[in-house]
């Protein structure tokens, strides 16, 4: 297999962009297809595809935001107009948002934990693919990823949960680096007892 130093460099330097600073353009239909295809190329024990995608583009972002605002206002009676407006505009922070839905098949030989991890790998692959295509990307799981009423609006089944909302767009500000773990502090090597 040929080496790909560019890929290694991308993995070593990739940094999430902030949804709040994303601007147009977002990925077009072909670029989004590439990002989703990369997402679907993750390890998947049993070939279950234990995930699916819900895409928000154009007016759908604002329409879903109205649902978020309604649900938030109902759950938080003391919410201010500014807070409700923020919820209404959540998905308009980026040109394209993809909800990655983890869908676990219980009671089979493939452990549920592996199925959930596969959905997490989908999110990471999408971030890497978007970055490789020159876009900013951020994986978020804010309150609406866990709210049962939001899940109902999205049509999630009992065995489904949001693994993350992937925000995609062009970057308007330079990303800053953040501290990373010291590998020596989080790495050990197992050795058999003598």
pLDDT for 173 equals 85
* pLDDT tens string 100-129: 999 999 999 999 999 999 999 999 999 999
Mean of the per-residue pLDDT values for the chain? Answer: 94
> Could you give the C-alpha distances from 70 to 6, 7, 140, 145, 146, in angstroms and in order?
45, 43, 20, 15, 16
**Angle value at C-alpha 62, between 60 and 68, nearest 5 degrees:** 105
- Does the pLDDT of residue 160 top 90, yes or no? yes
Q: What's the CA gap between 90 and 87, in Å, rounded?
A: 5
- Given the structure tokens 């154009």, which residue do they identify? 58
Instruction: Write down the pTM of the prediction.
Output: 0.93
Instruction: Kindly report which listed range (10-19, 38-47, 71-80, 158-167) carries the lowest average pLDDT score.
Output: 10-19
DSSP 3-state of 60: helix
Looking at the structure, give the CATH architecture of the domain made up of residues 16-186: 3-Layer(aba) Sandwich (3.40)
* Percentage of the chain modeled with pLDDT above 90: 85
Q: Which residues contact 192 (CB under 8 A, 6 or more apart)?
A: none
Packed helices 81-88 and 59-75: angle between N→C axes, nearest 10 degrees: 140
Which candidate, 32, 150, 66, places its Cα nearest to that of 101? 150
Which candidate, 50, 86, 67, places its Cα nearest to that of 163? 50
Check: CB of residue 113 under 8 Å from CB of residue 106: no
**Domain range summary for the chain, segments of one domain joined by +:** 16-186
């Amino acid at each position: 297999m040929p080496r790909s130093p560019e890929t290694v460099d991308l993995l070593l330097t990739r940094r999430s962009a902030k949804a709040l600073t994303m601007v147009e353009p977002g990925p077009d239909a072909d670029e989004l297809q590439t990002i989703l295809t990369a997402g679907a190329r993750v390890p998947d024990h049993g070939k279950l595809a234990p995930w699916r995608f819900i895409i928000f583009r154009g007016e759908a972002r604002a329409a879903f935001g109205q649902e978020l605002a309604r649900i938030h206002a109902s759950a938080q009676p003391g919410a201010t107009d500014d807070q409700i407006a923020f919820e209404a505009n959540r998905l308009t922070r980026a040109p394209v948002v993809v909800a990655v839905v983890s869908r676990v098949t219980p009671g089979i030989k493939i452990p549920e934990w592996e199925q959930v991890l596969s959905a997490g790998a989908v999110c990471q692959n999408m971030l890497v693919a978007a970055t490789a295509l020159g876009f900013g990307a951020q994986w978020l799981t804010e309150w609406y990823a866990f709210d049962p009423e939001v899940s109902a609006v999205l049509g999630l089944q009992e065995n489904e949960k949001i693994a993350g909302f992937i925000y995609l767009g062009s970057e308007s500000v330079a990303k800053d680096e953040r501290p990373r773990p010291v590998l020596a502090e989080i790495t050990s090597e197992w050795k058999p007892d003598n």
